[in-house]
Structure 1
Amino acid sequence: MNPVQATSNASRLRPAAVLRYASLDPLRQDAYLAVGLAAPASAIAVTVGSGRHPDALGWALLLGLHVPLAWRRRAPLPTLAIMIPLIAVYHQQDYNHSAPTAASMVVLYTVAVRNGPLRTAAVGCAVIALMMVLKIDHGMAGLAVSFQITGWIVSMLVLGGYIRVHRENAAAAVGRAERAERTREEEARRRVAEERLRIARDLHDLLAHSITLIGVQTSVAAHVLAADPGRLDRAAVAGALDDIAETCRTARGELRTTLEVLRDPGTPDARGPLPGLHGLADLARTAVGAQVRLTVTADEAPPAVGAAAYRIVQEALTNAVRHGGRDDLTVRVRVSEDDGALHVHVTDDGAGAGTATPGYGLVGMRERARSVGGTVTAGPREEGQGFEVTAVLPLGGTR
């Protein structure tokens, strides 16, 4: 194998080795670290530095002080507490003083990384004080060495504190990013739910109203056909069928604009202009099966409020026609503005509206009113016969 191939193979093996090491649990990583530090410390003990070569006791102390490093991340302070007496005895026996330096610095760094600034400062002061006591008998030379070692101790503690703050800031940034992502996801889900609810209300209002009108118009045509077959009123039948066709065309157009939102979710305003107070007159004219008396004294309302009022009146008319239970049904619709709010009042003199089982219609009316900050009350009239719907829709803040 030539040198170029050997270098290439080594460059491929190093990342793999790093990945394998990173995949180990912390205890095993620290155990390998202890062995890795003990090997050069043993070489230093017999080659360079001040002090005598270790004997049996020296080797036991030097190798023994590296063993607790395997638990440095799980229990940094106990690890330091075990290592300090071993290091102190090692130095007191005047063995090679450079050999345990790396292990000492690693455990001090770990203490700073794993503990707050106050505890780290207290540990640093204690270690420096102990080192001063050990060096006090060495005179000026010992004092100079003490300042040098103090610099290393402070440097390791500062480095560990910096890494701890950096990791905390990184973790906080990740936490903020995750919270922001969750907030965006929740907002997206909320918007989807609101849009689905809006589409459901629109479809209910549209289909319920249109189907009710078609049902009434079909009943009219059937009645004309069955009343006197010998004298068929072709004009009345044609008028009823034309009304049915017109209702179908109107429903189809409104259904198309509603479904555009589903086809193109990127354009929330694709549904076109919202119905408003200007559409109440046409709504009253198309209410087949009831005589509608409409009174509108309010000025033009904001689009959202006008649409809510329109849909509430539409649902109230649909319910009145569906559950009124009489041919000469009269529905009174009054829309007025008072005290900064739009007041919608719909009453009928039907016989069955008050006993109808509540369904999606009343729920939809309340949801529409709530969407603009308003309220809806619905129930049998106090006078006795008929049903009454009252809505209060604030105008302030929605213009």
Structure 2
Amino acid sequence: MSVVHREPLTAPHRTRNDAVLALGVAVLAAAIALMGGGGISPGHLSWKLLLAGCVPLVWRRHRPLVALLGVVICMAPYYAFDYNPAPPVPAVVLALYTVAATGAVRRTLLTGVAVLGSTVISNGITDQDGALESLEISGWIITVLVAGIAVRYYRLYVASLVERAERAERTREEEARRRVAEERLRIARDLHDLLAHSITLIGVQTSVAAHVLTADPERLDRKAVAQALDDIAGTCRTARGELRTTLEVLRADDTAVEVGGGAGTLSASVSGAGDLREPLPGIDGLAGLAESGRVAGAKVELSVRADGIPPSVGAAAYRIVQEALTNAVRHGGREDLTVRVELWTADGALRVRVRDDGTGGGGGPGGEVAPPGGTPGFGLVGMRERARSVGGTLAAGPGPAQGFEVTAVLPLSQEDEVR
């Protein structure tokens, strides 16, 4: 079956295999000739013509029409001398089959008409009473050509199935790679949101403790120092819990996605990880974010006028506010920093606005304003990705008077979400 399925024009070692096949056809023709039959007994000329007619078969798949023409040129004189008609049949049949199995139907039909026409004409000239014999010969020629056409279409059908299977496999691999990339991006966003917020709070709280220790050593406020250290410990515990949840997602391997290929296998836990994750944060957790901002030394004013927010939209709003508060505390540049956080619903969307009155900017690549003397990060990029994940938009830039402002529009309709 593998030989039948193989495309003859591109098969490996086809010249060598055809040479062996031509030799086998020559042996078969010689055996048929030695067995005897109708017509004149074989002589030197008949043997030469018979064996010479098998030689073009060596190149039957390189030049099918040329091979058929060579066989016909050698076998036509053989039949003209009225030798035994059976020995040349294997070579002629093989040449005709090759033309039909390797070429277009139009070429096969034209070849069949030419062969049948010449056969009928030659029989009509040499044997005018052999009409029935001409009909039998024509039937065999047509049968061989139809068989070759059928095999050709079968090979095309098998090739289309193989191509379709390969295309489906490529699609599956591309889908797996896309899911792996999306999962990596999600993990990167979660780690950034978690670590950036927690580390910023720890840095601010440590600065408060250091200030209390060095401001007036003789009148050390032990209660203030203890409170600052307590806040640092609480922030560390919270960050450790969230980080543990994220690492559990990374370690999940019960439903891993595998992308095979070449040098190795790329794996990532895409589905099934949701069972290990804590419930998505939502707008109910904004009060805790505001309190953490106040602990960091900023005056946070929170206003929420929204109900019935879908979990995915609420989670995106939570992360956007978290990153905006983190940037404000980190880059605000003022001790009496005020941050106003507002959320409300209008026109079928959740509106988010975070505005501070500081002197810093937002950090991030892609044209965002970097903090003075700082290195651009991925905060604004992550916020925009959060907004796009639910079909929303986000804008960030200097406020109307001073400070920095982040605004987001998050559609509430689940059909608008981008998955």
Fold shared per TM-score above 0.5: yes
Match of 1:393 in 2: 410
Distance in 2 separating the partners of 1:301 and 1:146: 87
Q: Cα deviations across residues 17-47 of structure 1 (Å, max 9, x unaligned)? A: xxxxxx9710011011111101121222232
Contact 1:302 1:398 in 2 (8 A): no
- Cα distance, 1:34–1:333 mapped onto 2, change above 3 Å: same
After superposition, where does 1:161-200 map in structure 2 within 5 Å? 161-200=149-188
Match of 1:251 in 2: 239
CA apart distance, 1:64 = 1.1
**3-state DSSP class of the match of 1:342?**
strand
Distance in 2 separating the partners of 1:207 and 1:240: 19
TM-score (norm 2): 0.86
After superposition, where does 1:4-43 map in structure 2 within 5 Å? 25-43=13-31
After superposition, where does 1:266-281 map in structure 2 within 5 Å? 266=255, 267-269=272-274, 270-281=276-287
CA apart distance, 1:141 = 5.3
Distance in 1 separating the partners of 2:341 and 2:66: 82
CA apart distance, 1:62 = 0.9
Q: Cα deviations across residues 337-384 of structure 1 (Å, max 9, x unaligned)? A: 22222211111000122651532111111121122222221111132x
Gaps of 5+ in 2: 1-10, 256-271, 363-369
- Cα distance, 1:214–1:67 mapped onto 2, change above 3 Å: same
Match of 2:220 in 1: 232
Gaps of 5+ in 1: 1-22
Q: Please give the root-mean-square deviation of Cα atoms over the aligned residues, in Å.
A: 1.7
- 4+ aligned runs moved over 3 Å, structure 1: 137-141
TM-score (norm 1): 0.90
Distance in 2 separating the partners of 1:41 and 1:124: 23
After superposition, where does 1:116-265 map in structure 2 within 5 Å? 116-137=104-125, 142-265=130-253
Distance in 1 separating the partners of 2:227 and 2:213: 13
Match of 1:71 in 2: 59
Within the candidate set 329, 333, 349, 2:357 is matched to 349
Match of 1:48 in 2: 36
Match of 1:12 in 2: none
Distance in 1 separating the partners of 2:390 and 2:150: 53
Q: Cα deviations across residues 211-263 of structure 1 (Å, max 9, x unaligned)? A: 00011111112222222222222222222111111111111111111111111
CA apart distance, 1:56 = 2.6
Contact 1:277 1:300 in 2 (8 A): no
- Tell me whether 1:283 sits opposite 2:283 in the alignment: no
Percent identity over the alignment is 61
Q: Cα deviations across residues 257-279 of structure 1 (Å, max 9, x unaligned)? A: 11111110422212221111111
**3-state DSSP class of the match of 1:299?**
coil
| AA of the residue aligned to 1:316 | A
CA apart distance, 1:151 = 2.0
Contact 1:349 1:387 in 2 (8 A): yes
Distance in 1 separating the partners of 2:117 and 2:278: 80
Distance in 2 separating the partners of 1:317 and 1:26: 72
Match of 2:398 in 1: 380
| AA of the residue aligned to 1:222 | A
- Cα distance, 1:175–1:24 mapped onto 2, change above 3 Å: closer
Worse-superposed segment, 55-64 or 166-175: 55-64
Greater share of helix: 1
Match of 2:379 in 1: 361
Q: Cα deviations across residues 280-329 of structure 1 (Å, max 9, x unaligned)? A: 11111111221111111122322222211111111110000000011110
Contact 1:335 1:343 in 2 (8 A): yes
| AA of the residue aligned to 1:198 | R
Worse-superposed segment, 321-330 or 127-136: 127-136
Distance in 2 separating the partners of 1:28 and 1:186: 40
Contact 1:46 1:53 in 2 (8 A): no
Contact 2:391 2:416 in 1 (8 A): no
Within the candidate set 269, 281, 302, 1:294 is matched to 302
Distance in 2 separating the partners of 1:24 and 1:321: 70
Distance in 2 separating the partners of 1:362 and 1:313: 11
CA apart distance, 1:140 = 6.9
**3-state DSSP class of the match of 2:35?**
coil
Match of 2:82 in 1: 94
Contact 1:50 1:97 in 2 (8 A): yes
Worse-superposed segment, 338-347 or 211-220: 338-347
